């Protein structure tokens, strides 16, 4: 079994619109174009709506810092560096990752419609937020979506190492449904997202065994001492992490995590992405596929829950249900998370919605 720890989101509920406007203003004040700022904020607040706060509005702090120290460009020229009938390779020119990812996944979907399968890669872009967002973009178009990315810091241990081997490589697969919530597996290959460890830290929680290791590669329960996280399921998570690090980094030309020139004089962020869409209609009629997906979702939901569980969910189902609830009633945030952004908002002179 793996180790889980949850954080409670107990604060007052804030409307998604207000949080989107807040995030966009932070990014725009830092120098992003109005369009890009709005788009990045949309993807971050989507993660908050889904309860994935590690990839939500809290990331604005990191994005703004990246823009300010020149790691992320707000004016850029994303270029095609190679293409063929079923694929395109992009250079992201250090643009925000979400801007590159939107372009790349949309292109993969468009190719899949005429070709069956579309694949795109991106080198040299910023962090792309939650992988689920891009895979779900394909699912919304009747495609199977699959994506992964890599980033510069090696924070996940290899199986049996005392130093990091990969980033906390995310991978996502999403599938269309008809009447049931869309199915999406979005997993980091580490036991926990580093952001989640940080969120636990802001809430003053201790970590269970087997989540994090300190700078010497020794296990620790103190979130503030965590330098590395363990791979999920030991050798399996490690294998998934290295394979997806190479799929994103080596295929795009953006380099695997261990080979990225981190901290070079230019400080530029060199994240890589891999996006794949399979148009279901090329294989089976979409109505058949979604009907069978619905049947699978219902069959899994009908399973008797284990002790300590109230229901059995499909991957992504709780997040989709949370999103419906939070769109209607606002987003509650874990304690400490919003307070951590306040200094940034103060410095940039952006009004704080929860203090209004």
Among 24, 52, 246, 337, binds other proteins (CB under 8 A): 246
User: Hey, which residues between 88 and 117 contact other proteins (CB under 8 A)?
Assistant: 89, 115-117
Among 24, 175, 193, 326, binds other proteins (CB under 8 A): 175
Single out the residue of 296, 321, 322, 348 in contact with other proteins (rule: CB under 8 A).
296
> Which pairs from 290-297 meet CB under 8 Å and 24+ separation?
290/176, 290/177, 290/178, 291/178, 293/175, 293/176, 293/177, 293/178, 293/180, 293/183, 294/177, 294/178, 294/179, 294/180, 297/177, 297/180, 297/181, 297/183
Please indicate whether residue 127 is annotated as part of the active site: yes
Helix/strand/coil for 124: strand
Residue span 264-293 as binding mask against other proteins, x where in contact by CB under 8 A, dash where not: ------------x-x-x-xxx----x--xx
The one catalytic residue among 53, 55, 94, 127: 127
Contact between 160 and other proteins per CB under 8 A: yes
Would you say 310 or 355 has its CB closer to other proteins?
310
Tokens of 336: 């400490």
Binding residues among 117-136 for other proteins as defined by CB under 8 A: 117-119, 121
Least Cβ distance, residue 73 to other proteins (angstroms): 22
Contact status: 324 vs other proteins (CB under 8 A): no
Query: Which phi and psi angles does 344 have, rounded to 5°?
Result: -60, -50
Interface residue with other proteins, options 6, 140, 162, 352 (CB under 8 A)? 162
Nearer to other proteins, 85 or 265 (CB): 85
- We find the least distance from the C-beta atom of residue 129 to other proteins, in angstroms, to be 19
Six-digit token string for 128 = 């792309």
Binding residues for other proteins restricted to 40-69, rule: CB under 8 A: none
Interior/surface letters 60-79, b for 16+ CB within 10 angstroms, e for the rest: beebbebbeeebbbbebebe
Binding of residue 300 to other proteins (CB under 8 A): yes
CB 141 within 8 A of CB 245: no
Per rule CB under 8 A, count of chain residues that contact other proteins: 78
CB neighbour list of residue 238: distance below 8 Å, 6 or more residues apart: 156, 157, 158, 159, 165, 189, 231
The residue from 11, 15, 31, 86 that contacts other proteins (CB under 8 A) is 86
Q: Which residues are catalytic?
A: 127
């Amino acid at each position: 079994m793996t180790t889980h720890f949850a954080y409670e989101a107990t604060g007052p509920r804030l409307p998604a619109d207000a949080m989107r406007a807040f995030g966009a203003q932070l990014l725009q004040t830092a120098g992003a174009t109005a369009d890009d700022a709005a788009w990045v904020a949309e993807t971050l607040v989507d993660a908050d709506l889904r309860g994935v706060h590690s990839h939500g509005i809290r990331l604005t702090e990191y994005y703004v810092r990246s823009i300010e120290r020149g790691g992320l460009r707000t004016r850029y020229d994303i270029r095609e560096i190679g293409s063929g009938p079923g694929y395109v390779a992009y250079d992201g020119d250090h643009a925000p990752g979400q801007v590159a990812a939107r372009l790349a996944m949309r292109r993969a979907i468009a190719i899949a419609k005429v070709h069956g399968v579309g694949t795109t890669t991106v080198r040299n872009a910023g962090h792309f937020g939650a992988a689920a967002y891009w895979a779900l973009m394909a699912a919304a178009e009747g495609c199977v979506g699959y994506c992964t990315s890599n980033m510069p810091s090696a924070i996940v241990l290899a199986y049996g190492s005392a130093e990091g081997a990969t980033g906390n490589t995310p991978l996502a697969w999403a599938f269309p449904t008809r009447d049931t919530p869309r199915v999406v597996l979005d997993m980091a290959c580490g036991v926990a997202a580093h952001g989640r460890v940080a969120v636990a830290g802001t809430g003053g929680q201790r970590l269970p065994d087997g989540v994090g290791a300190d700078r010497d590669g020794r296990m620790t329960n103190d979130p503030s001492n965590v330098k590395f996280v363990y791979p999920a399921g030991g050798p399996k998570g490690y294998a998934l992490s290295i394979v997806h690090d190479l799929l994103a980094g080596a295929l795009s030309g953006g380099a695997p995590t261990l080979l990225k020139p981190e901290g070079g004089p230019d400080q530029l962020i060199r994240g890589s992405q891999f996006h794949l869409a399979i148009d279901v209609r090329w294989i089976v009629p979409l109505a058949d596929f979604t009907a069978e997906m619905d049947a699978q979702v219902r069959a899994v939901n009908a399973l008797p829950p284990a002790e300590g569980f109230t229901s059995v969910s499909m991957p992504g189902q709780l997040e989709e249900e949370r999103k419906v609830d939070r769109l209607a009633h606002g987003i509650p945030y874990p304690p400490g998370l919003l307070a951590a952004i306040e200094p940034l908002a103060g410095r940039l002179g952006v009004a704080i919605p929860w203090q209004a």
